[in-house]
Structure 1
């Protein structure tokens, strides 16, 4: 080993994949195949909640692996897309998968407006499979993928109880535009659009800072928390709490303020709320 190799090893981010697997309750065989990819993805979705407490408090969360481990794995916290998918990408690469980071424009709720590419997702190469899979454990919405889907257009995939498909859309550019759709309320609804242009870690450092600190970003002034379990999907936006069951039935209620929000985050979302964070100040 050369001195440069030793220095690179000393400065490389370190984390504990075994602690991550314990956090999400995954006990399968560590091998790069489609079955492991699907089960790992679903376990992560069930195991770690989506939340934006750092941006709500005025800070951009760190995307360094040791910091993600301290927060999402050992700290009883969740995170948003850059945190979740950076952590999943590291685990998949440790298993032997090839992973390409991508960026998408969120279409859901845009009402025709063109948003910047701010959502992080993953393209995963699986040895022996005819094509890559789309993986994404960081989309904070009820139409998020529970399991990765093959990158194939116009084919419905059932990651029960959810249904997804990918379609192509015309656009100006040299690369094909893909759109992820989820079947919601008896219709296909666009979730986000993306091309296969690779993005790198420094790209997401910039995007992460922008989304966390820009006063026009909803993540910097409104509480967004999601948790998916086999029994229900919980979504908290500001004070508005929605519980959606696999059969589509919903319960909604308004929380009274900081104290009740903190109790719900701890009891229902499994989040250790940082001391001193005013949860109701900007809702």
Structure 2
């Protein structure tokens, strides 16, 4: 039986400069927490490539060129793929998992494993680690402990367990909302390649038909869905703004989400009648 090749070593210096991390490089919980808090503030969730019919590649050199050196963001396979290589290079024990998205879907909906999450083991304790879930991405790792309400720099989260399945929930106002469901079956690069190809090219994919971006600040979350920009403050209020031109959209992408736009950046279909 052949074994999967080891992950390539990430460019730690460039990555840490990109996210503004200056802490320890030791594979400890404090290091993981520091990285996890800064990553989604610096590297926005976005699907510009799939929306613009451009390829989405998951090999480490491409991820580094896009998310680190190129000033872009990405979605879960890119964000967590890069983070997995960084953590592995630091000496963490990391397992890639696949999740079924439940956010804003009717109860009992069955979805494919279209979301990538990470499980990081530190001193015998497993932590759910995820910097790629868009508008409600985690800003801290969570202990893999069922029914424990866990604080993060932003929302409160908890994990429910039903047999081998875990469901991640976020507390929104007074209600607990499910984000996704997963089990502990390890996923391989080929599993992510199939899912990534589907979500980035399938004609009915949400990432093909909609422009989506998200980024966090210490006191708020920014979310873009096509031409609507929402700012969700941790105090509980939300501000919404309707964008009316391609020029305004590009300004939001560069200034609010801090993205360098690709050369081919024709967003005009969002504003066509």
TM interval, short-chain normalised: over 0.9
What secondary structure sits across from 1:67 in the alignment? helix
2:200 corresponds in structure 1 to 212
Match of 2:243 in 1: 255
CA contact (8 A) 1:14 1:66 kept: no
1:123 is matched with which residue: 119, 123, 126?
Answer: 119
Whole-angstrom CA distance in 2 between matches of 1:117 and 1:13: 25
Q: For residues 164 and 214 of structure 1, what CA distance do their matches in structure 2 show? A: 31
Q: Does 1:46 align with 2:41?
A: yes
Map 1:6-85; keep pairs closer than 5 Å: 13=8, 15-85=10-80
Partners of 2:135 and 2:215 within 8 A in 1 = no
CA positional deviation for 1:240: 0.8
Q: Following TM superposition, by how much is the alpha carbon of 1:141 offset from its aligned partner in structure 2, in angstroms?
A: 2.0
Equivalent position of 1:132 in the other structure: 126
State how many pairs are aligned. Answer: 266
Identify the residue that residue 169 of structure 2 maps to in structure 1. Answer: 181
Query: 3-state DSSP class of the match of 1:206?
Result: helix
Q: TM-score w.r.t. structure 2 length? A: 0.93
d(CA) in 1 for partners of 2:47, 2:95: 24
Show the counterpart of 2:157: 164
Q: Structure 1 regions of 5+ residues with no counterpart?
A: 1-7, 171-175
Give RMSD over aligned pairs: 1.6
Q: Deviations over 1:124-159 (max 9, x none)?
A: 011x2x4210000000123x2110001000001000
Return the offset for 1:43.
1.1
Contact 2:211–2:224, Cα closer than 8 Å, also in 1: yes
Report the Cα distance in structure 1 between the residues aligned to 2:169 and 2:268, rounded to whole angstroms. 33
1:188, distance to aligned residue in structure 2 (A): 0.7
Q: 2:184 matched to which residue of 1? A: 196
Give the deviation of 1:13 after TM superposition: 4.6
Give me the whole-angstrom Cα distance separating, in 2, the residues matched to 1:33 and 1:232: 27
Spell out, residue by residue over 1:21-66, the C-alpha distance to the aligned partner (whole angstroms, 9 max, x if none): 1100111111111111111111112110000011001133111111
SS at match of 2:139: coil
Secondary structure class of the residue paired with 1:85: helix
Residue 135 of structure 2 contacts residue 221 of structure 2 at CA under 8 Å; is this kept in 1?
A: no
Identify which of 135, 144, 160 aligns with 1:141.
135
Contact 1:85 1:121 in 2 (8 A): yes
How far apart are residue 221 of structure 1 and its match?
1.3
TM-score (norm 1): 0.90
Structure-1 residue corresponding to 2:209: 221
Q: 1:78 Cα deviation (Å)?
A: 0.4
Out of 161-170 and 239-248, give the one that drifted further: 161-170
2:232 touches 2:239 (CA, 8 Å); kept in 1? yes
Q: For residue 132 of structure 1, give the secondary structure of its aligned residue in structure 2.
A: strand
How far apart, in 2, do the equivalents of 1:132 and 1:14 lie? 23
5 Å-filtered alignment, 1:263-274, equals: 263-274=251-262
Partner SS state of residue 37, structure 2: helix
CA contact (8 A) 2:131 2:139 kept: yes
Secondary structure of the structure 2 residue equivalent to 1:69: helix
Q: What are the Cα deviations for residues 192-241 of structure 1, in whole angstroms up to 9, with x where unaligned?
A: 00000000111101110110000110100110000111132100001011
